[in-house]
């Protein structure tokens, strides 16, 4: 079961890494929920669920993936809700939601890859948050309009 979950986890993670930025750009340009956002959403769902399956197999080393998985999914969920909110499209909500989910995917990769250098885990959060917040101030940089 662990091997199947790992294969699905890696495959879904690759899809999420590719479709994260695409989901941001396409959603901000179309100003509505779309195929790129849906693919990103379901890729993150698969990553999170498979992470939940794999954690018990190596609890001491992987326990932190449960909270990372939950936060990753919540970011993407809130990004989707911002794209289709009944009160109107939210530029900043999409950018922070989808962008935050993409940052969480990169954080998880660094947590696994650089176990001896935990300070590297902060790089995606620091750099990614700075970029997202800069884009929130300059909406035309991504092709959307502020709302």
Q: What is residue 112's three-state secondary structure? A: helix
- Residue 147 to residue 135: CA distance in whole angstroms: 13
Q: Per residue in 114-137, pLDDT tens?
A: 878 778 878 888 999 999 999 888
What band does 88 get if pLDDT is binned at 50, 70 and 90?
A: confident
Burial of 86 (0-12, 13-18, 19+ CB in 10 A): exposed
- Residue 4 to residue 131: CA distance in whole angstroms: 35
- Residue 52 to residue 70: CA distance in whole angstroms: 9
């Amino acid at each position: 079961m662990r091997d199947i979950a790992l294969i699905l986890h890696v495959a879904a993670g690759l899809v999420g890494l590719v479709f994260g930025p695409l989901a941001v750009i396409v959603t901000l340009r179309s100003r509505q929920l779309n195929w790129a956002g849906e693919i990103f959403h379901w890729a993150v769902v698969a990553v999170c669920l498979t992470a939940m399956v794999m954690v018990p197999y190596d609890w001491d080393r992987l326990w932190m993936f449960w909270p990372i998985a939950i936060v990753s999914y919540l970011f993407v969920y809130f990004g989707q809700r911002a794209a289709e909110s009944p009160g109107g499209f939210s530029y900043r909500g999409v950018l922070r939601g989808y962008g935050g989910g993409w940052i969480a995917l990169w954080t998880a990769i660094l947590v696994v890859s650089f176990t001896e250098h935990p300070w590297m885990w902060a790089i995606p959060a620091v750099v990614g948050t700075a970029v997202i917040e800069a884009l929130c101030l300059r909406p035309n940089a991504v092709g959307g309009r502020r709302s």
